[in-house]
Chains A and B, each alone.
Chain A
Amino acid sequence: MKERAAVLGTGQTHYKAKRQDVSMAGLLREAIDRAMADAHVDWPDIDAVVVGKAPDFFEGVMMPDLFLADAIGAVGKPLLRVHTAGSVGGSTGVVASSLVQAGVHERVLAVAWEKQSESNAMWALSIPVPFNMPVNAGAGGYFAPHVRSYIRRSGAPNHVGAIVAAKDRRNGAKNPYAHLQQAEMTVDKVQASQMLWDPIRYDETCPSSDGACAVVIGSERAAAAVERPAWIHATSMRTEPTTYAGRDQVNPQAGRDCAAALWKQAGITNPLEEIDAAEIYVPFSWFEPMWLENLGFMGEGEGWRLTEAGETEIGGKLPINASGGVLSSNPIGASGMIRFAEAAMQVMGRAGEHQVDGARKAVGHAYGGGSQFFSMWVVGADKP
């Protein structure tokens, strides 16, 4: 019933605060052309295109996939536009996988992007919503209380966030596409940076980037033509409301359920032992230990211990965000797909300077909204 599917190739743009050297179409094509070259496919090989992006107000264009149809090679083909808030890059990968796993298509191009420099994201997010209290504090102000709650509940030492930030920024310097290139970043430097939303300091926050990421996903037959594809072992998505009585925003049920479904589908019983590399959506440093627990890599209250022990570094027990992660590049709508693509690159052996030695199985993770939308996949060097 379910067909096997694999990532045949990936492509990314260089991430920058403002990519004013290219149009929106040019930005997407930069990622798409690299993904298609990596997958050794040409336009006639592509059966369908799936586009993912966060709110249209971020660029000021209504359903921009429509005007981009020509530039992204979709004319005459099916084009599907996904929008699931910050998790959208991951969801786009899941939808594209489904199209192949369903037996509908042989090869699907998925591309996720954001070009915030076309509009004004703060304006886009400031439009008042009926019956909702405005946060007026940006994402950092929204998530800082969750982080404080995590620290209180777990008893984690205060410097754990800085350890994550320094690691991700140093990793980013090994990734030529990363927005922030900070090879010399240290825990001390992070801790000396401006406090923004206690306990989140400036160097513990993600940048705001323009960028796009694309993947080509193919059937088992299509994958036969590719050297070392990344086989898709499992995908999952879960959603819960922004608020409800008893909701745990530090360790959301939707994330736990999503991970449980993912590990089950992938036949994984001990994620910490069986996963070789993880690309996890960490826009603020403390989300690394928080998601380590939410994903089931570590027990509740224990996530920070893995980080503090240095085991999430490249070369550690579970390298997390060898690419530099969201802390090094954050083109919002694309960030989830970058996690998915980087996980694939690890098991394909194509991660260059930030390759994790011998990675055979990796997880890509994305979340969005008020920690309420989750999408994940497990990819492996071996057929599932």
Chain B
Amino acid sequence: MREVGVVGFAQSRQMRQTTGTTNGVEMLVPLITEVFSDLGLTKHDIGFWCSGSSDYLAGRAFSFVSAVDATGPVPPINESHVEADAAWALYEAWTKIQTGEVDTALVYGFGKSSAGDLRRTLALQLDPYVLAPLWPDSLAIAGLQAQLGIDQGKWSEQAMAEVAVRSRRDAETNPNAQLAGSKDVDSLLAEPYIAQPLRRHDCAPITDGAAVVVLAAEHRAGELAERPAWISGIAHAIDSAHIGARDLTTSPSTLTAAQKAGIDGVEVAELYTPFTHQELLLRAELGLGDDVRITPSGGALAGNPMFAGGLVRIGEAARQIWSGSAGRVLAHATGGPALQQNLVCVMEGR
């Protein structure tokens, strides 16, 4: 395997609503400019481009095409796109670098959730013949998952509220966070349910946002960054789509990805958990102890740009390496209802 490092990262401010189009263009162009300026690169230095986005979120077909156009690909570029969170675009880019065909890759993702009704839109990810016609929305499904864990004694509403408090207080030092600061646990638990047992603080906000990451191989990474975040392992897997037929309180695909990626000794874990109980679920599944710092950026609970959120986790984890504040970090990304699909990326400084 070639050594590949994360060397560049830029993200938009996470906002409840932007005025731009659903194509991501207005959010992406400044970010691409920023990351090139940081690294002293131009678009001609990029060997492979890969993006992640969703037409359903954008409310139109071929939304990624306008985004590609906005990157100004003249002369033509070597480019691909996944209909998934951009963390999976990063995986495809990492693969492309592994073939030896290219040494650098630029990955981006974008999502403007404010344009539609996210809860209902996500219901269209369910089986279209037997489940989607019932319109169980994303909060309802997350609520079922949370309740199952409570019933089994795996977590509690109290522990969930503690996750919310920590996340939103951590977000106070994240200039890009949409929500920062929190009341105490007792005050949160006095709030009404919005999808029992979920209260507002248990759920990620609706966010518009985008992110860009640059990868480079071997000596190229060394030239571009003082301390690249070297990817020591990256893997992903998917679980059954039948939410009634899988144990929603576990995440076998996360475990499979973690075993392949090799997560021993990580000091920080940026987990993509749009609901508080999902952090508790993943910590248990990954066996992350109290010595592992969980999602210091504040995570999805402080701002959840769909289809960029997983890539943001990778970027935030890489920053921990660049700054020298950690030697080995884990980033996680998710997609699909109730953590159906999961990716684990482990990075280290050397």
Contact = CB atoms under 8 A, between A and B. Distances in A.
A240 interface: yes
A223 B117 CA distance: 48
B65 A127 contact: no
A102 B96 CA distance: 7
Interface string A51-83: 001011111111111111110001111111111
B92 A95 contact: yes
B74 A240 contact: yes
A63 B336 contact: yes
A98 B240 contact: no
Interface stretch (A28-36, A252-260, A318-326, A337-345): A252-260
Interface in A235-256: 236-244, 253-254
B114 to A, nearest CB: 15
Given A2-B100, A82-B82, A63 B125 contact: yes
B82 A85 contact: no
Contacts of B92: 80, 82, 95, 98
A239 B21 CA distance: 22
B237 interface: yes
Interface stretch (B56-64, B156-164, B175-183, B186-194): B56-64
Interface string B91-119: 11001101111000000000000000000
B241 A60 contact: no
Contact of B124 (A61, A243, A372): A61
Contacts of B62: 55, 85, 369
Interface string B70-83: 00111111111111
B350 to A, nearest CB: 21
A56 B83 contact: yes
Contacts of A91: 80
Nearest to B253: A76
A359 interface: no
A366 B297 CA distance: 42
Given A23-B129, A80-B92, A66 B336 contact: yes
A237 B78 contact: yes
B55 A57 contact: yes
A372 B81 CA distance: 14
A103 B124 contact: no
Interface residues of A, number: 67
A190 interface: no
A2 B95 CA distance: 11
Contact of A124 (B61, B126, B129): B61
A99 interface: yes
B59 A127 contact: yes
Nearest to B59: A127
B88 interface: yes
A337 to B, nearest CB: 15
Contacts of A61: 124-125, 128, 132
A375 B256 CA distance: 32
Nearest to B78: A237
A104 B98 CA distance: 9
B71 to A, nearest CB: 9
A240 B238 contact: no
B135 to A, nearest CB: 13
A101 interface: yes
A43 interface: no
A129 interface: yes
A84 interface: yes
22 contacts: A2-B101, A53-B83, A55-B61, A56-B55, A57-B56, A61-B128, A63-B84, A64-B128, A69-B340, A75-B238, A77-B237, A78-B238, A80-B82, A83-B55, A83-B81, A83-B82, A98-B99, A102-B95, A102-B99, A104-B98, A239-B77, A240-B74
Ranked 3 nearest A-B pairs via Cβ: A102-B98, A55-B61, A254-B76
Interface of B: 1-2, 21, 23, 49, 54-56, 59-62, 64-66, 68-69, 72-84, 88, 91-92, 95-96, 98-101, 121-122, 124-129, 132, 235-242, 252-253, 256, 335-337, 340-341
Given A67-B126, A83-B55, A238-B79, 7 more contacts: A68-B241, A76-B252, A78-B238, A103-B98, A118-B128, A130-B21, A239-B73
Interface of A: 1-2, 23-24, 53, 55-70, 74-85, 91, 94-95, 98-99, 101-104, 118, 124-125, 127-132, 236-244, 253-254, 257-258, 369, 372-373
